[in-house]
Amino acid sequence: MKFWKCSIIMISILVLFFSSITVSAETQTDEAGDVYHWKMTDSTWSWEPSVDSRANIDIIELTYTSNGNQLTLSLKVSGNIQASDRIAYIAWVNTSDAYYWLYWMNGQSTSMAINTTEGSTNFDMNPDVNISENNDEIICVFNVVGTDLTNPEFWGYAVEYTNFGDITQEWWGDWIPGTYAPFWGEEGDGNGDGDGEGDTNGDGDVNGDGSDSGTDSDGTPGFGAIALITALAMAIIVLRRRK
């Protein structure tokens, strides 16, 4: 009887312990073969479905999990993750008081997590980033830097440029969820064909007038924000090398 009583007590303690740990998780899936191409057709630049598969930037799954101490963000493609200076993989988890950013390009990670509370110095500038054994997924493990993980905003994308960051030439991209694509928004045509007629210039500026330098109508970072973040990322790489 004493053994059973002890067992019941231990089980009760374990149940209370694990129930006190806040675990959150979310997975988004995206069909393969939906990469879009920014190209010139009949003297007009527009978004069109890519003729070739571009599997290496074709996102099929984006997942985050958190146990309260660590947050894991992973992005999976239908092809293979590439170490290229023309390809970048990006994903975000934004909470009420922090953001977690996965950035992988040219075989290097400049991922980071920052608490956005005014005056806070809580951040993780060196999360653990690995490529899966199948070479199709980037897995980034952050230390949790915020206090509230409820109702996070969660998205990702992968891009391939002719010359990195040059949006005056053709480039390719895939967004998850698709509503974060630059050709999709409140002011877009919204028919899902990706032509973006009259509503985007391909640089994340939905209005075409430079007013959306930070984000478009759905919250995707515009290229002004990406340029700033890329500069910060390069600074982090330099600092790491000096160490």
Residue 53 falls inside a structural domain: yes
Q: What integer pLDDT is reported at residue 23 of this predicted model?
A: 56
Quote the tokens at residue 105.
């390009």
Which domain, by its residues, includes 162? 21-200
With a cut of 70, say whether residue 232 has pLDDT above it: no
221 and 214 Cβ atoms separated by less than 8 Å: yes
- Tell me the per-residue pLDDT of 42-51, one tens digit each, with 9 for 90 and over: 889 999 999 9
- Tell me the per-residue pLDDT of 57-107, one tens digit each, with 9 for 90 and over: 999 999 999 988 999 999 999 999 999 999 999 999 999 999 999 999 999
Residue 68 falls inside a structural domain: yes
Q: What integer pLDDT is reported at residue 187 of this predicted model?
A: 36
- As a whole number of angstroms, the distance between CA 80 and CA 56 comes to 5
φ, ψ for residue 16, nearest 5 deg: -65, -40
Q: What integer pLDDT is reported at residue 151 of this predicted model?
A: 77
Q: What integer pLDDT is reported at residue 150 of this predicted model?
A: 76
With a cut of 60, say whether residue 2 has pLDDT above it: no
Residue 242 falls inside a structural domain: no
Q: What integer pLDDT is reported at residue 149 of this predicted model?
A: 80
Residue 124 falls inside a structural domain: yes
Residue 211 falls inside a structural domain: no
Mean pLDDT taken over the chain: 76
- As a whole number of angstroms, the distance between CA 69 and CA 144 comes to 5
Q: What integer pLDDT is reported at residue 148 of this predicted model?
A: 84
Residue 54 falls inside a structural domain: yes
Q: What integer pLDDT is reported at residue 157 of this predicted model?
A: 96
Residue 114 falls inside a structural domain: yes
Quote the tokens at residue 235.
């600074």
Establish whether the linkage from the previous residue to 177 is cis, with ω within 30° of 0: yes
- From the list 22, 49, 53, the residue with the least C-alpha distance to 38 is 49
Q: Which residues contact 241 (CB under 8 A, 6 or more apart)?
A: none
Q: Which residues contact 69 (CB under 8 A, 6 or more apart)?
A: 143, 144
With a cut of 80, say whether residue 110 has pLDDT above it: yes
**Counted domains in the chain:** 1
Residue 146 falls inside a structural domain: yes
How many other CB atoms sit within 10 Å of the CB of residue 175?
24
- Greater confidence (130 vs 197) lies with 130
Q: What is the per-residue burial (b if ≥16 Cβ within 10 Å, else e) of 106-139? A: eeebbbbbbbeeeeeebebeebebebeeeebbbb
